[in-house]
Every structure is written in C-alpha cells, then in structure tokens.
Amino acid sequence: MLNSLMLCVSSSFVSVGASSGIGREVALDMAKRGARVITASRDEEKGLESVNYIKNLSKNSSVFWKKLNLSDLSSVRQFAIWFTSCEQRLDILINNAAIAYSNVEKTVDGYDLCFGTNHLGHFLLTELLVNHLKRSAPARIVIVSSLAHILVPGPLRFDKGDEDTLYPHLSGYEISKLANILHAKELARRLAQFGVSANAVHPGGVDTELWKGMAYKWPPWFCFLIRMMVKPVLIDANAAAQTIVYAAVDDRVKTITGRYFEKCSLARESIQAKSLSVAKKLWEVSSFLTGLQVHTLPLEVNEPRVVDCTDKTNQTLDRE
C-alpha cells in the first residue's frame, strides 16, 4: 500500500471516470491530501453522489463534478472549454475512465466504442488541457491501462479502411489498453522539456463495474463462472487506486516519465508497448481522428467561450 505523505494543498487535480470504483477512490485520496479535486464523468446522478461521498470522508469542500462523455468528442471539447475558462492550473490529470464491453458498438463519432472511449477521448482531453499542465509544471499525467494489453499479439495495424470504418483494426479493449501505454510514451517524449511527466499504470485485477459489461459479450452462465473463478484474486477499488496515486504524487516518481507501473513499482510492458515509432504513428492517427493538427499542441480550444463557472451544487468554482 502507498505510504507517501506528500500533500497536494493548492494543487488542482482532475480525475476522469471518478463516479465510482477506482476513480472515486483516487479522487478521495487526493481530496484527503488537500487538493482541489474536479471529477468528470457522464452520469450526473452518480457523479454528484460521488462528490458528496468524497466531501464527507475527506472533509474537503473543494471537490466538484462536471459532465464528460469520452465516447463523444464534442463533450470532451465542451469540458475542455469549461476547464480552461474556469481553472487557472492543472497539476495532476488522471485518465482513468474505461469501458470493456457494451451493447453499443460505436462512439458518437463512429469509432469503435472501446478504442474511441478508452484512448481517443483521453487523447483529445489531454491535448486540450496540456497548456494548463505546462503552466503548472512540474505536473503529471497518469493513464490507467491494463495487463490486458499483453493479449495484443502483434504491432498495432494502421490500415486506413474506408469511409464507413476508418482504421478498422484499432478496436477492442486490449488494443485500447495498449494504446494507453503508447500514448503515455509519446506524451513523455513531447512534454519532458516542459516539466510534465506521463506514465501508464496497471491497477491490478479489480472487482469493479467494468465486469458488468461481460453480459453484453457472453451468456450469463459463462459470465458467472468466470467471475467466480477470478474473484479470489481480485482486489477492491481502494487497493487498486494505490498504484495510480503512487504515480501521481510520490516523490520517488517525479523524475520518471514514459514508463509503466504495477503494484507501486516499475513493471515490464509488452514488446508491442515498447515501440516509440508505433507510439508516434498512433499519435498522428489519433490527431487525425480527433480533428487535431498533427505534431501540434494547441494553445487554445478554438470554440466560443460562453461558460458558466458553477457546479451543480450552486457553488462557484472560485479561482484560487
């Protein structure tokens, strides 16, 4: 378990996918350290319940929720507009949200749901917030990946496909988790000179809501059998949050970037996750698919800024 005593007072922290499970436990830990915490998720009811849960346990009133649907790139842009208009700094960004299986196959923008949500949504969000991270340096980005990335048997394939299905081989949970690690590596290369680190994390085998999605892919009896087989080795959300928090705040990690962590230690990623050339190509393709210019870090979100800097509890998110 993490035993770092680092305080985050006056730090600004964003946790994506913090309405339940691992993300909520990470946000709670940060709130207890005194950070200004902004949680972002697509479900308003769960999001606000999570904020109240975190405030009650942490005794930190600077915890807020904003809507963010990573499977809809317009939602990502709207969140970025709000954040860059209402917040002055960003010290830690945790890209945690994930989906494994669903009865929906495509994102709002027409991409594979797993790849579009787990990678493209996080990719665009990070790019649109990157200048806040640079201005707040030293800052950290933590991308939650999975051991499942080792199931990808070969290098990512970038066959462009056709108008109906762009990049058809960029699909599935395992591919998206491999993309998370490659994203961290390319971020590390691009942002090192600005004092911003980026690392990927495997939180462990976790008993969270992610498992509920199995019902969309396999029959109930098979899901039950698998769940019973692996349950003895699964850890709870609090235990899984430890490595994420370690990568986000521990002083021993402050000079480490572009690496992969497990159990609060450096770990070995797969051969496919080590390729810097593939990481660069993935960046270029992701920039194209999300509408960003290749090889650029945009200075601003180029959309009108009519922004309400209040949260759902009618508290103004004052700039400190």
Catalytic residue IDs: 173
Task: For the chain, give the secondary structure using H, E and C.
Answer: CCCCCCCCCCCEEEEECCCCHHHHHHHHHHHHCCCEEEEEECCHHHHHHHHHHHHHHHCCCCEEEEECCCCCHHHHHHHHHHHHHHCCCCCEEEECCCCCCCCCCECCCCCEHHHHHHHHHHHHHHHHHHHHHHHCCCEEEEEECCHHHHHCCCCCCCCCECCCCECCCCCCHHHHHHHHHHHHHHHHHHHHHHCEEEEEEECCCECCHHHHHHHHCCCHHHHHHHHHHHHHHCECHHHHHHHHHHHHHCHHHCCCCCCEEECCEECCCCHHHHCHHHHHHHHHHHHHHHCCCCCCCCCCCCCCCCCCCECCCCCECCCC
